[in-house]
């Protein structure tokens, strides 16, 4: 497994897309830090960059890479290698490569310039989003045989969590506004890792106006510390469950 992870990781670290992704994140991080004197405002701006770029790049690039590596996977499976080992090794290499890209692009500038609890939480949230959407990409890969359909499903998945989910959330709030929906709404929000990443950072900042309805709910019912722990647990589940499903499906998939 270590050999496969090493091969995938070295291949990805030389990939132009990963390098460009790192450079763009670094350029945005440094420019935002240069324009904002207030650390809290800079973290909020970098949070928006993270929520905009990390999910779509992670899932789209990972999906394309997994489909392009099908022949490599078939070659390895001709050897005495378990399917679970191969799949998790490819995911681990992808997650490490994209995680390094995010750490160099956002984590390093933020750590050097700020180093506040909110800034550290921002980096943790970005890494979680990287792990989650790479795992979702792996699930998309095992669900679809056709590369075009798989890429389309990856784009739809990213757009759903980034854009459409909030529309459904607002519809839910509007439809059941006459009922006490606060606690059910907490469970509903937990179904979106992008919202969870945003809330995790906002709970560390004293920006009540920016928290929105969902963030205010987390702070009111769970508090900052408990809310942060709950959010981290939910994001861990978002990472693990797609991987478990992907492994189970891949074991039975006809290559």
On whether the CB atoms of residues 214 and 189 are closer than 8 A, the answer is yes
Distance, in Å, from the CA atom of 160 to the CA atom of 53, rounded to the nearest integer, reads 14
108 to 10, 28, 46, 52, 71: CA distances (angstroms):
21, 12, 13, 19, 36
Q: What is the pLDDT of residues 222-253, one digit of tens each?
A: 556 777 788 889 999 999 999 999 999 988 87
Query: Does residue 207 register a pLDDT over 70?
Result: no
Residue 41 confidence (pLDDT) above 90: no
1-5, 28-32, 83-87, 132-136: segment of lowest average pLDDT? 1-5
Reported as a pLDDT band with limits 50, 70 and 90, residue 3 is: confident
Q: What is the pTM of this model?
A: 0.91
**pLDDT for the residue numbered 209:** 45
Report pLDDT for 255.
62
The pLDDT > 90 percentage for the chain reads: 42
First vs last C-alpha separation in the chain: 20
Q: What are 198's two structure tokens? A: 């945003």
Among 45, 196, 204, 53, smallest CA distance to 116 is for 204
Selected residue with higher pLDDT from 206 and 172:
172
Cα separation, 29 vs 23, whole angstroms: 10
> What's the confidence (pLDDT) of residue 210?
52
Average pLDDT of the chain? Answer: 85
pLDDT, residue 96, reads 95
């Amino acid at each position: 497994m270590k050999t496969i992870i090493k091969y995938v990781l070295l291949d990805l670290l030389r990939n132009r897309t990963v390098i460009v992704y790192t450079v763009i994140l670094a350029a945005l991080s440094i420019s935002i830090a240069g324009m904002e004197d207030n650390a809290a405002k800079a973290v909020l701006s970098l949070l928006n960059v993270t929520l905009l770029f990390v999910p779509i790049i992670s899932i789209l690039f990972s999906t394309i890479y997994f489909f392009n590596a099908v022949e490599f996977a078939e070659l390895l499976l001709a050897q005495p290698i378990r399917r679970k080992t191969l799949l998790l090794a490819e995911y681990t290499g992808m997650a490490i490569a994209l995680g390094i890209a995010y750490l160099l692009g956002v984590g390093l500038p933020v750590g050097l310039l700020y180093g506040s609890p909110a800034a550290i939480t921002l980096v943790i949230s970005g890494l979680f989003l990287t792990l989650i959407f790479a795992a979702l990409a792996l699930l998309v890969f095992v669900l679809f045989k056709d590369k075009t359909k798989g890429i389309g499903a990856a784009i739809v998945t990213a757009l759903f969590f980034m854009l459409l989910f909030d529309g459904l959330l607002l519809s839910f709030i509007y439809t059941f506004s006459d009922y006490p929906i606060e606690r059910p709404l907490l469970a509903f929000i937990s179904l979106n890792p992008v919202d969870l990443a945003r809330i995790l950072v906002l709970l560390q900042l004293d920006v009540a106006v920016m928290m929105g309805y969902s963030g205010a709910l987390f702070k009111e019912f769970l508090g900052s510390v408990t809310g942060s722990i709950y959010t981290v647990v939910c994001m861990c589940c978002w990472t693990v469950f797609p991987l478990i499903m992907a492994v189970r499906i891949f074991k039975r998939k006809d290559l």
